[in-house]
Each structure stands twice: as structure tokens, then as C-alpha cells.
Amino acid sequence: MYNAAKFRLQSELNRLKPITFTQPTEAPKEFVVPFEEMFDKKFVWFPGDYFLELNIKTDVPKVDLVKKYRFTIFESFTENLKNHKKGFAIGAGVFWESPDYAGSWVEIEERNSWN
């Protein structure tokens, strides 16, 4: 579904693109909706405290590794990430990366335990 929607969006933007490119061309909503729906369905970065455990297993058990981390997603981070949808109409975040939607810097803290 993603690749087909991406192809349709890119084709439509190429069709609409003016000869002189002074501003980004926006695709009609019908070409953007599939990406907005995918984004909303898969978005998981809501405000809160998160715990991450990285567990690396190898074929040599004595070098296996377990690391625990904690990080916080603030409301402003969530809103910043959700703003990425605004670029979908011009293809940003779909088939090219825009510096307007850079994301947020999240501080990750290593933990010895979950306490």
C-alpha cells in the first residue's frame, strides 16, 4: 500500500509542478490521506516515560549484553513529530526529507534497573 500511494503522490506532484519552481507544489488531499492514515495508525510517541531494554544475544553467550534505558517524551515532542504530517502534501517525509521537520532531541539515560 505504501509504495503504491507513494508512486501516486509523486506522479501527481510531477504532473502539477510548474515550469518555474518558486514554491512547493501541493497534491490534492486524496493523494495525501493514505499517508496521514498510516501515520495516525502507527504513531506511538505519546507523552510519557518510556523504558527500553536492549538485549543482544550472540552465538557466544559470555559476550551477550543487556542494557536498560529510560527516556521521557514531552507533549512538545509529540506535537513536533505530529507536525511532520503537514509536509506530506509536498512529499516531505514521504519521498524526500525536509529540514522543516527535523524532530526532537530526546535525552536517553542508562539505567541499571527499572527502579
Per-residue pLDDT, 21: 63
Q: What is the DSSP string of 46-92?
A: -SEEEEEEEEE--SSGGG-EEEEEEEEE-HHHHHHHHGGGGGGGGTB
Stretch 57-66: mean pLDDT, rounded?
95
d(CA 101, CA 93): 8
Per-residue pLDDT tens over the stretch 2-17: 899 999 999 999 888 8
The pTM (predicted TM-score) of the whole model is: 0.77
Place of cell 534505558: 69
Domain locations along the chain:
2-111
18 C-beta neighbours (distance < 10 Å), count: 8
